[in-house]
Amino acid sequence: MKRILFVDDEPNVLEGLQRMLYPLQNEWKMAFASSGSRALETLEQSRFDVVVSDMRMPGMDGAQLLAEVKKRYPDILRFVLSGQSATDLVYRAVGDAHQFLSKPCKPKLLKECVDKAFALRELLASDSLKAVVARIRSLPPVPHVYAKLCEALKSSEYSIADVGRVIEMDLAMTAKILQVANSAFFGLRRQVATATQAASLLGLNTINALVLTTGLFAPIEGSKLPRGFSINALWEHSMIVGWYARSVCLAENTSSELAGDAYTAGLLHDTGKLVLASAYTEEYAHVYDHSVVNAIPLHDAEKQVLGCTHAEVGAYLLGIWGLPHAIIESVAYHHRPADSVGTSFAPLTAVHAADVLAFGLQKEPADYPAPAMDMAYLGRLGLEGRAVAWEGACANIDVRGGG
């Protein structure tokens, strides 16, 4: 039985939740707290798997509560159920919560989100994955600039100029972001000369995603990598998948937050390849050969040779970094979306489609078999008829141009 604690300062909301979630009482053991400090007391008394908190509460607010929960009980899954005000949305980019839900939230959606979070946690707790990760001497740390950026965004009075200043402290990062911002990827008509301009033209979501990706790729550039492994090709593939994932979302008319998550997830979806290739240089060369000789997809070869895939390793790392759940889920299941428990369009759907389309549309050279769209998964979502439209949306984008 899953144990879930709901926190909200409004008695009506708590009562409403209690009534609405009554049908789930055989699956969930639920408790309700009317303030952040009460919630912490309840957590001291018994064990919980999930905390679902309101954002704006007098005294300790939702952000402070979840940061405290993260510190004291890192295993507890943290959800925000908020009214989606502008400040809540900024907080969303900062990330002490796994998942953001907006009020009112239907029991079916809440249950699906909780189920997804549990399934992902189980996947990332597998012994073979832990064994592979444990052998890596040091996992890449959260990019320094990203951590600083999150700090800056936490202040309610931050400005775009502050964001620019944080990025400009790192010269290599600034150079890379300007290069990307000026590439054809973004189709901006004016030349971007400073990080502040880039931030105001591209928006916070995109800047956050670029900072993460650049921070991850940069330290590995120049280090010893397996033969046949091209960091430039992976960078380009990541940019294209991010861009395509966003286009698929636009074709589906999703919210801009969902499209932003899909973009970030697209940029980061093959993060695990970087981690594995730099930590297991010899073995990874063998993984490549194994996939070519047996004509099996690379992720299957990884599973057979190493015991886990780059999708799992990437998701594991992003989990440690505290990225939102939808992004981690997209990375974890991008080759096999049907393994997820989702039943509606999500960033995962966009990233899976984008990854497949990138191989097809960009004619990416690969010695191993190209991935195929998982039609059974799309069927489950009732979206099997949309694949053609997505391909059309992505085919229209000119992604060449030196990003």
Residues 305-364 that bind Fe ion (CB under 5 A): 355
Residues 226-255 that bind Fe ion (CB under 5 A): none
CB 262, CB 246: distance < 8 Å: yes
Amino acid letter for position 346: A
- Smallest distance from Fe ion to CB 82, Å: 32
Residue 170 lies near Fe ion (rule: CB under 5 A): no
- Smallest distance from Fe ion to CB 342, Å: 18
- Smallest distance from Fe ion to CB 183, Å: 19
99 vs 349, beta carbon nearer Fe ion: 349
99 vs 264, beta carbon nearer Fe ion: 264
- Smallest distance from Fe ion to CB 43, Å: 37
Task: Write the secondary structure of 292-313 as one string of H (helix), E (strand) and C (coil).
Answer: HHHCCCHHHHHHHHHCCCHHHH
Contacts of 379 (CB under 8 A, 6+ apart): none
- Of the candidate spans 33-41, 77-85, 264-272, 373-381, the one that interacts with Fe ion by CB under 5 A turns out to be 264-272
Q: Which of 199, 92, 82 is nearest to 154 (CA)?
A: 92
Contacts of 171 (CB under 8 A, 6+ apart): none
Amino acid letter for position 250: L
270 vs 312, beta carbon nearer Fe ion: 270
Other CB atoms within 10 A of residue 340 CB = 23
- Smallest distance from Fe ion to CB 69, Å: 32
Q: Which residues of 167-201 are buried (b: 16+ CB within 10 A; e: fewer)?
A: beebeebbebbbebbbbebbeeeeebebbbbbbbb
Number of residues that bind Fe ion (CB under 5 A): 2
43 vs 268, beta carbon nearer Fe ion: 268
- Smallest distance from Fe ion to CB 307, Å: 17
Amino acid letter for position 337: P
- Of the candidate spans 59-67, 107-115, 169-177, 270-278, the one that interacts with Fe ion by CB under 5 A turns out to be 270-278
48 vs 390, beta carbon nearer Fe ion: 390
Other CB atoms within 10 A of residue 369 CB = 15
- Smallest distance from Fe ion to CB 311, Å: 6
Contacts of 234 (CB under 8 A, 6+ apart): 217, 270, 273, 274
215 vs 314, beta carbon nearer Fe ion: 314
- Smallest distance from Fe ion to CB 334, Å: 6
- Of the candidate spans 189-197, 210-218, 265-273, 384-392, the one that interacts with Fe ion by CB under 5 A turns out to be 265-273
198 vs 298, beta carbon nearer Fe ion: 298
170 vs 355, beta carbon nearer Fe ion: 355
- d(CA 15, CA 26) in angstroms, rounded, equals 18
CB 370, CB 357: distance < 8 Å: no
In sequence order, what are the beta bridge partners of 82?
102
State yes or no: cis peptide before 104, omega within 30 of 0: yes
Residue 270 lies near Fe ion (rule: CB under 5 A): yes
- Smallest distance from Fe ion to CB 384, Å: 22
146 vs 235, beta carbon nearer Fe ion: 235
Can you give the binding site for Fe ion, defined by CB under 5 A?
A: 270, 355
